[in-house]
A and B are shown apart, each in its own frame.
Chain A
Amino acid sequence: MKQIYRTLLIVALIFPGVTALAQEFHRIRGEFSQTPFSDFVRQVEAQTPHYIYYDAEEFDSLTVTGTFHDVDLAVVFDSLFQYTDYHYFGDPSGKIFLTRGREIRAELPVGFFDVRPMQGDFDVALLDYLHDAEEKKRLSDEDRIFEIGKRTRRVRSGTATLTGNIRNVVNGEPVVGAVIYNETTGKGVATDPFGYYSIELPTGRNNLRISCLGMRETIRQVMVYDNGRLDVELAEFITPLKEVVIESERGANVSGTRMGTERIDIKMMKQVPVAFGETDVMKVVLTLPGVQSVGESSTGLNVRGGSADQNLTLLDDATIFNPSHLFGFFSAFNPDVVKDVELFKSGIPAEHGGRISSVMEVTSREGNKKKFSGAGGIGPITGRLTLEGPLQKDKSSILIGGRSTYSDWILDRIPNESLKNSTGSFYDLNFHFNHEADRKNTVDVTAYYSDDRFKLNSDTLYHYNNFNASARWKHAYGTKLFSVLSATYNTYKFNVSSDINPANAVRMDYEIQQLSGKADFSYQLNDKNLLSFGASAMRYDLSPGTLTPIGSESLISADRLDDEQALESAVYLGDEFELSPRLTLYAGLRYSFYNYLGPRSVFQYAPGQPRSESSMTDTLQYEKGQSIATYHGPEFRASARYMLGKDASIKVSYQRMRQYIHMLSNTTAISPTDTWKLSDAHIKPQTGDQYSIGYYRNFKANTIETSIEAYYKTLDNFLDFRGGALLTMNHHIETDVIGTQGRAYGLELMLKKVTGKLNGWISYTYSRSFLKTAGVESGETINDGMEYPSNYDKPHDVTVISNYRFSRRFSLSLNFTYSTGRPVTVPLQRYVLDGSQRLLYTNRNQARIPDYYRVDFAMNIEGNHKIRKLAHSSWSLSIYNVTGRKNAYSVFFRTENGEIKGYKLSIFAQPIPTITYNFRF
């Protein structure tokens, strides 16, 4: 299909010249404005000796506009018919034949009688004759006038609603974020995650322009009589290398009401070089302004000064608690299955809640609805394979993807003697079933399973699983209201076991489960108001720790923490209303309720004293289902966009978020054994407020986007932990937490070029993030209650992502990253105790590790673009950390043989070259 399109372009560009050789055309003059084609023909025939033959019915929708001063008729036709499927042919006698769909040629195309399979060069016109039905359909759809609603003799004045789906013509997949722009009124809407759109149109003639980056723009002319439906299929660009696509909605960064939101589709992600050759969703998100991590092997994201547990990571609506594989070197998402990822940093709409810093939504692809196909890749550590196809053509599809490690490539290269015995492996599976029952009902069922195991020093075995399943039903009620009902279930569990010493053989298990139901509605009240409302409920079930002895020799006494249960529910209402063409407001309210439920025994502490085992006064027993603690509160969301002309706008937003689940972690990076804890009678929910303002300006027809965003954020009830706190198997974690407040602010500058041979972006972020001990419950204060920088306070960050396309088959990418080193706690003094040097640490995070600087390089080579071959393949060669800079992951002091020694740990201390082979069929 793609190939056909390229061919057609050549037809359009070259053939008029060729045909012109057949006859000299006369020149014409005249002024035409919306002149019906038949009138134009009459005038031409009047001015010149030409006779024009054509089918009036085929040309009735064509009008001619333009002023010609002695212009060759061939030039007129060329410009008139460019990008259409109209053709002209003049014979030597002065007759001109106009055709539609088929071109008239004086001689047969080369190879017409040749029955051998086509190879190498062949006359493009032949292909035109053989394979162009689909493309012709597209072109003809552009010229047709679609009648919407029941045709009436007279068009009633007023508005009507047009709805429909935008799909990819190749695989039937919905196109998300495509913009339907009404050229007549200058208004536009974007498709939702199901490719669905709803636009208010004035009755009568409207020209709609449907565009989406990475897809070929198309137009539809509609005659609107009443409410109706129009589905549009978009074709992809010929080459996936053509451009970096970061936001599908061209121009939406300026004209949309959202701010602090980034959508990246998988094509763009595939161009960013990564360490092990496999496209990594999390690592690409990390290149966005405002997103940081504490170090190279950490998949914990720190968004605008928030901690890693303040991000909601969703895969098809279900939470992923541990989005990393193999110590964070891979992320949980199989790149062949991912469709796109959307990150909300600010201005989070009311339908999202549950975490206070950000929401990252990863969406998996639907299977191909047209034909069976597959894709896969082989890298140095992992292999992956995805199969997809229709169950019922154009109606339902299925996609199954899998990925697995096949070598201990990483661990075999560990230079450390004692860790050579370590092993690590993972696999994950994805499933996506999609069924479009009819135009009003679509059902999606998705599932994800991942399994990670690693053994360190043949001693301790770590094992963790994610399992997610979700079902969504999208239903349209008429043209203005539609709903998405979804049910999700997800569980995350891990266990750690050690059996090297039979006397102490033990296994610790942790599990968290979530079951949730959600109903989201979207209602186009009128052409000024778009309402969204809904409700959700989520049930949490945690088994926070079970310690089990292994074998009869084990002396370990079995232990189990009480299970935790809670119910989190929310209702929300949001309205996006257009006050004037320049000013659009969004106001939303989400109200969340949280109940921490029995059965459970709850310790009571003497009021006003630090919570500790000695201040425990009582233990209360709660029955099953009894409410132990209740929290609730409003979460306000508001944003506004003011257009400062066609290409510039200002936006402001405010959001309040509440979070009822906390990660118990006292390590700088997220460790595989960090657990999650629900808010309870002692641990309050976290709240976060964020104010942001931004200026957006596009240049050169929206091909260059620039933005400046500033934010200020406060966090409350964030958890820190006492020195020496035991975070697992602790029956009273509340005695070890330190209530902490935080604040963060920053400025993000972005310059993005989305099209052209050279594309990519440059971003600069200035951001600060501080924490401070609040409250006395803990009896311990960090830094004497003074503010200190958080672990992820990295003030300066510069990222350059660039891609240069030399040809359709060859492109180069180069990334630069610079950031200030993260804060680190360094010792104040050293001293000698019991014959060894020891260190005294006092104030937290008072120094920094060296600044981080890295350059990556990647080269993508696509196979040839022949239509018919067994498989399409591509090679990608990447070099991570080209300069081999030994970036510090941490700096630390250690006592060795009684002496203090200072060290710097680098994770990737030399260039990491990788070759990956990818294929699809």
Chain B
Amino acid sequence: MKRTLFVILGFALYVVASCVDPYNPPEIESSANFLVVDGIVDLADAETRIKLTHSQDLSEQGLPLPETGAQVSIEVENGPVFVLPEIAPGEYSASAISVDDGQKCLLRIRTASGSEYISETVTAKFSPAIDSVTWTPRDNSLDFEVTTHDTEGRSRYYRWKTVETVMYHSAHHSALIWDPGVQAVRTRTPDEDIYYCWKTTPFGYIEVFSTNGLVEDAVVKHRVFRIPSNSWKLTLKYSILVRQFAIDQNEFNFWTELRKNTESIGTIFDPQPTQVTGNVRSVNPSGPKALGYFSVGRSVEKRIYVTRPELPFPADGYERPFPSCSAFSIDTIFVMEYLNSNKSALLLNAVTQGPAVIGYRTADKHCIDCRIVHGGVNVRPDFWE
């Protein structure tokens, strides 16, 4: 708690007329190029994967260069050595390795050029179960909180990753589709429905907490995510998945510092950025620096849903997920010509007079196809309740 309290101190205060503008701070030209070890091993995953890349200059375009042809292995103290073959450039992977809670491991890398890197010895930590993920409405936001505890008091340091899934719909429901093959209007099949979409976004921000200053190893309603109460994401149904890791103190410090350097920055009272490298180093003391972290643990996860009617916010107090849309009707005679010439228009439904179809209502596809507006998919995810 001590720590979080003072993490809060790194608050942002944008006062009167203050502003934050995009800007490219001056850069330092360097020929430096460090091996980056992305080595957070989650035993809950189906496979164990270590990614080796290289750091880049800030101005450098493109993806980081992978480190190919290296020999990567995880050594378990008094146990086996797991060799991870390269399955894609820079990606070294094997089926899930078996490590017990509390076992000590280290990562060893030998690059194609012969440089050797070794991690500090880490202890595998299995996370205790998440007791609950809850949500609490605030004045201007909806907070998601996690509650967990470790009766044995061995966890102490926690890290969470969150993934959100938003279910939303477009402005107009389209019941019909123009089939260009047969040049005719027909009813959409359920697979072709583009009114409802789901969008899943994993978040990369760093969320850690320590129960070190608490009388028991219990995390009670720790906020892991906050969404503005007027977000379009809350119009229908919203879900977040919380993955929890138990970590050790060094890893906790690593993430905390990395967060200070790269996330909770831009306030009036910013601390000096610090050099954060991680726990992998060159075997040769004068060898090149390596960046990144190696740890072994097993995460647990929990998902919750919240629907609009459950929220105490004003029924229409949110940003529309779609642009303002209007629909208009086209006579049946002109529909073929119109849809062929206007590729961005889609059909909504039929305008009838008695039993006769006299025309069709159409609108722009941005108003109809939910996939376009926010980039979701119209396939309901397997887990969705």
Is B15's CB under 8 angstroms from A841's CB? no
Chain A residue at minimal CB-CB distance from B40: A834
Q: List 28 A-B contacts (CB under 8 A).
A: A295-B268, A414-B15, A415-B14, A506-B1, A547-B2, A555-B218, A557-B215, A668-B270, A724-B256, A825-B273, A827-B28, A828-B28, A828-B32, A829-B56, A831-B292, A832-B36, A833-B258, A839-B262, A840-B34, A892-B265, A894-B263, A898-B204, A904-B23, A904-B25, A905-B266, A907-B18, A908-B16, A909-B17
Is B215's CB under 8 angstroms from A555's CB? yes
A417: CB under 8 A from chain B? yes
A874: CB under 8 A from chain B? no
Rounded to whole Å, the gap between the CB of B245 and the closest CB of chain A is: 11
List 7 A-B pairs, minimum CB-CB distance, nearest first: A723-B274, A503-B220, A836-B204, A904-B23, A671-B269, A829-B55, A891-B25
> Which residues of the partner chain A approach B265 to less than 8 Å between Cβ atoms?
892-894
Would A415 and B263 be within 8 Å (CB), given that A420-B140, A421-B139, A848-B26 are in contact? no
> Which residues of the partner chain B approach A559 to less than 8 Å between Cβ atoms?
2, 213
Contact digits for B238-276, partner A, Cβ 8 Å, 1 yes 0 no: 000000000000000100111011110110111111111
B184: CB under 8 A from chain A? no
A449: CB under 8 A from chain B? no
Is A909's CB under 8 angstroms from B18's CB? yes
Chain A residue at minimal CB-CB distance from B218: A555
Measured CA separation A846–B27 after assembly (Å): 9
Measured CA separation A827–B34 after assembly (Å): 13
Is B266's CB under 8 angstroms from A890's CB? yes
Is B57's CB under 8 angstroms from A829's CB? yes
A84: CB under 8 A from chain B? no
B-binding segment of A437-445, A452-460, A654-662: A452-460
By size class, the interface of chain B is 35 or more
Chain A residue at minimal CB-CB distance from B262: A895
Chain B residue at minimal CB-CB distance from A841: B273
How many chain A residues touch B (Cβ–Cβ < 8 Å)? 93
Is A831's CB under 8 angstroms from B64's CB? yes
Is A838's CB under 8 angstroms from B23's CB? no
Chain A residues at the B interface, C-beta cutoff of 8 Å: 295, 297, 327, 329, 409-411, 413-422, 456-460, 496, 498, 501-504, 506, 508, 547, 555-557, 559, 666-669, 671, 673, 723-724, 726, 728-729, 791, 824-836, 838-842, 844, 846-849, 886, 888-895, 897-898, 900-910, 912
Pick from B32, B253, B270: contact of A667, CB under 8 Å:
B270
Measured CA separation A418–B139 after assembly (Å): 9
B308: CB under 8 A from chain A? no
Rounded to whole Å, the gap between the CB of B36 and the closest CB of chain A is: 4
Q: B interface, by DSSP: helix, strand, loop or mixed?
A: loop
Is A826's CB under 8 angstroms from B25's CB? yes
- CB proximity to A under 8 Å, residues B4-38: 4-6, 8-9, 11-28, 30, 32-34, 36, 38
Is A831's CB under 8 angstroms from B24's CB? no
Is A906's CB under 8 angstroms from B18's CB? yes
Is A895's CB under 8 angstroms from B263's CB? yes
Is B204's CB under 8 angstroms from A835's CB? yes
Pick from B58, B213, B266, B271: contact of A547, CB under 8 Å:
B213
> Which residues of the partner chain B approach A668 to less than 8 Å between Cβ atoms?
269-272
Measured CA separation A671–B2 after assembly (Å): 17
Measured CA separation A673–B216 after assembly (Å): 27
Rounded to whole Å, the gap between the CB of A614 and the closest CB of chain B is: 13
> Which residues of the partner chain A approach B287 to less than 8 Å between Cβ atoms?
none
> Which residues of the partner chain A approach B257 to less than 8 Å between Cβ atoms?
723-724
B3: CB under 8 A from chain A? yes
> Which residues of the partner chain B approach A840 to less than 8 Å between Cβ atoms?
34, 55, 275-277, 291
Is A457's CB under 8 angstroms from B11's CB? yes
Would A831 and B204 be within 8 Å (CB), given that A667-B270, A726-B3 are in contact? no
Measured CA separation A457–B22 after assembly (Å): 24
Rounded to whole Å, the gap between the CB of A206 and the closest CB of chain B is: 58
Rounded to whole Å, the gap between the CB of A215 and the closest CB of chain B is: 39
B358: CB under 8 A from chain A? no
Chain B residue at minimal CB-CB distance from A890: B270
Rounded to whole Å, the gap between the CB of A837 and the closest CB of chain B is: 8
> Which residues of the partner chain A approach B272 to less than 8 Å between Cβ atoms?
666-668, 791, 825, 844
Is A839's CB under 8 angstroms from B261's CB? yes
Is B221's CB under 8 angstroms from A501's CB? yes
Is A827's CB under 8 angstroms from B58's CB? yes
Pick from A459, A791, A889, A907: contact of B8, CB under 8 Å:
A459
> Which residues of the partner chain A approach B18 to less than 8 Å between Cβ atoms?
414-415, 889, 905-909
> Which residues of the partner chain B approach A826 to less than 8 Å between Cβ atoms?
25-28
Pick from B19, B26, B53: contact of A831, CB under 8 Å:
B53
> Which residues of the partner chain B approach A829 to less than 8 Å between Cβ atoms?
30, 32-34, 55-58, 291
Measured CA separation A265–B38 after assembly (Å): 61
> Which residues of the partner chain A approach B112 to less than 8 Å between Cβ atoms?
none
Is B56's CB under 8 angstroms from A831's CB? yes
B322: CB under 8 A from chain A? no
Known: A886-B21, A900-B262, A907-B18. 7 other contacts (CB 8 A): A418-B226, A418-B228, A501-B220, A671-B9, A825-B273, A849-B25, A906-B18
Is A892's CB under 8 angstroms from B266's CB? yes
Is B140's CB under 8 angstroms from A418's CB? yes
Pick from B15, B223, B260: contact of A410, CB under 8 Å:
B15
B141: CB under 8 A from chain A? yes
Measured CA separation A836–B206 after assembly (Å): 10
Is A506's CB under 8 angstroms from B268's CB? no
Rounded to whole Å, the gap between the CB of B266 and the closest CB of chain A is: 5
Is A415's CB under 8 angstroms from B19's CB? yes
B293: CB under 8 A from chain A? yes
**B220, B270, B272 — which one has the most chain A CB atoms within 10 A of its CB?**
B272
Measured CA separation A888–B24 after assembly (Å): 12
Is A726's CB under 8 angstroms from B204's CB? no
Would A903 and B222 be within 8 Å (CB), given that A414-B15, A835-B204 are in contact? no
Chain B residue at minimal CB-CB distance from A904: B23
Measured CA separation A414–B25 after assembly (Å): 25
Measured CA separation A414–B60 after assembly (Å): 35
B214: CB under 8 A from chain A? yes
Is B56's CB under 8 angstroms from A413's CB? no
Rounded to whole Å, the gap between the CB of B365 and the closest CB of chain A is: 26
Rounded to whole Å, the gap between the CB of B286 and the closest CB of chain A is: 13
Measured CA separation A674–B257 after assembly (Å): 19
Is B4's CB under 8 angstroms from A504's CB? yes
Is B34's CB under 8 angstroms from A831's CB? yes
> Which residues of the partner chain A approach B14 to less than 8 Å between Cβ atoms?
414-416, 419, 905
